[in-house]
Structures are given as C-alpha cells and as structure tokens.
Amino acid sequence: MNDADVSRQIQQMVRFIRQEAEEKANEISVSAEEVSLHFTVLSSAFQSMPSNRIVFFLLQEFNIEKLQLVEAEKKKIRQEYERKERQVEIRKKISLSNGFELLNSRMHAIKVTYDISYRILVALSYYSVKSIIKLLTSVANYLNSRILSNLCFEGQLIVCCSEYSMQLNASRIKVLQAQDDVISSMKEAASKELLSVSHHHHLTLSHHDHVYRNLLKDLIIQCLLRLKEPSVLLRCRKDDLHLVEHVLDSAGQEYAGKANVEPPEIIVDNQVYLPPGPSHHNPHDIYCSGGVVLASRDGKIVCENTLDARLDVVFRKKLPEIRKQLFGQVVA
C-alpha cells in the first residue's frame, strides 16, 4: 500500500466520521425543536392563568434543561469524534511504519545484489574468455533449474511477512487500547476522590466542611465573573444547600468588589437540585460530586462549575503530560 492509498483511506474515514457527527447534530436539533414546539403549546395554555410568574418560571426551566441536553449531546459527539480521530491517527502511523520497513528491506536486497555482482566480476577477471563463457552457461542453467523453487519460496516468504505484519499491527492496537483503559481507570479513581472533597456532616461543621464551604464560595464568584449578569439562578445539591446559603451574601459582595458593580440578585432554586453523589446501589445513575451551576434568568447562559466538570477540563488539558509520565515519550 503506497502513500496515496493510505491518504485516500484516511480521507474516507474522516468523511465518514464527519457525516456521522452531522447526522447526530441534526437529530439533536430536531429533538430540540420538537420539545420547543411542545413547550410553546403549554405556554400558550398557561397564558390564560392569572399568574404570569408560573409561565416565566416554566420558560426558564425549559431553556435551562434544553441547554443542558444540547451540551450533553455535544459532549458525546466530541468524545466519539476524538476517539475515531485517534484510531485514524494510529492506523496512519502503523501504515507509515510498515512502508518504512518495506523500503529498508528493499534497500538491503539491492545492496546484497550489488555486492554479489561485484564479487563475481572480480572473480571472472582471472579466467580466460572460454572459461568465462562456460561458467556463465553453467550459472544460467543452474538459475533456470532453481527459478521455480525460488518463486515458491518467495511466495511463502511474502505470506509469512504479511501474517507477521498483521499480528504486529494487532499487538500495537492492543497496546494503545490498554493505555486508554489505564487512563480511563485513573479518571474514574479521580472522580471517586472528589467525594472526599464534598463529604460533610449535617449536624456539625468540621474543619473539612469549612474548606468545602470556602470552595463553594470561590466557585460561585467564578461563575458570577463569567456570567456578569445582574440576576442569576443558582442550583446545587440538596446536601450542599445550607453551605451555599451561608456563603451567598459574602460571595455576592466579593464579586461586586472585583467587578466594580452592584451586588447581583442570586436566586437559589429550591425546586430542582443537582443530582446527589454516586451510589453503590445505582452506579450508572447520573450523579454530581459537588459544586454549583449558575444560569442567567432567561436560561440562555449556563455556567457549569461542578467538581466533575472541572475534573473533565483539567484531565483533558493535562492528558499529554499524563501519557508522557505513564508511558514515556512516544515516537511517531
């Protein structure tokens, strides 16, 4: 397989991956439009009610949920695209490696042929013309008798080399898959360690609770600096509600001092909470290890500042360093 064939196969795989991503994005858009149409019908029905606050609240809830669903699906698409892109890069590197090995073997064969030809010419220079003709005739007869056996041997050699190359490629893919499994297990272990950060007692506040309370305050301030909205909606875990209410005023004052604005209106959502921590009974359920989520009042801007989201960002940023520390420098 030459470079043109390798490049053409890679382009076909890239087009296939991109087509899958576009189809998935179209499905998400259609689902979002259906939900939006359904909610529009509900909102028109609520207009006849005496309280406009119910309609506003439902619109707000719908926008936040829609954005969260869209972001979740986008995240899945990005992860799938990155996985397939890594597979394309791995196959490209393996194909290039096989091409270099074949080129080296051919160069070695040319060198051996040149050495043998040179030695024959040097040896023949000591004989007469008749002896040279007689020797060449015997060599030709010998080659004619051995050509069929050589062809069979070369065919067997090609088959063996092909099988070896396939086994070598499969072993390389297994090694890369094992590396990905190790990194995934590291991320799962780090996610479990997050629970020790947000774990606290409900009756008394220990030193650990004070540390987590200050962390919640910093997370709220960071969200406020990103949103820069005069009024925001805050969501947290039900277990963290009393800690969030304790630092809410001080976080608003500190944000106002840093941004040089008036303290914002922070509304804590007491109806919908973030999911609780992971449970041993239902390990596959949606969970949240801690942190907060802030959104604008209209729900169009959402800042997710949970511990799990921050772990994803840090892990994605430090992934090259992690691979280098675990597996050493990878030679392309």
What is the per-residue pLDDT for 203?
42
pLDDT category of residue 115 using cuts at 50, 70 and 90: low
Classify 125 as helix, strand or coil.
coil
Residue found under tokens 């080399």: 161
Signed CA dihedral, 240, 242, 247, 251: sign only:
positive
Residue found under tokens 């043109």: 4
Tell me the helix, strand and coil percentages in the chain, rounded to 5: 75, 5, 15
Q: Are 224 and 252 in contact (CB under 8 A)?
A: yes
Considering the entire predicted model, what is its pTM?
A: 0.49
Residue found under tokens 């490696």: 97
Cα separation, 217 vs 314, whole angstroms: 20
Give the residue-averaged pLDDT of 251-257: 93
Q: Is the pLDDT of residue 9 over 70?
A: yes
Could you tell me which of 210, 306, 226 has the C-alpha nearest to residue 264?
Answer: 226
Query: Across the chain, what does the average pLDDT equal?
Result: 76
pLDDT tens for each residue of 148-198 = 455 555 555 565 566 767 777 888 888 888 888 888 888 888 888 877 777
Torsion of CA 48, 53, 58, 63, to 10 degrees: 120
Q: And the tokens for 328?
A: 């050493």
Cα separation, 235 vs 241, whole angstroms: 9
- Those residues with Cβ within 8 angstroms of residue 295's Cβ, 6 or more apart along the chain or in another chain: 64, 67, 227, 232, 233, 235, 301, 302, 303
Q: Are 19 and 13 in contact (CB under 8 A)?
A: no
For 37-54, give one letter per residue: b (16+ CB within 10 A) or e. Answer: eebeeeeeeeeeeeeeee
Residue found under tokens 């774990």: 199
pLDDT tens for each residue of 202-220 = 444 555 668 889 999 999 9
Signed CA dihedral, 267, 268, 272, 276: sign only:
positive
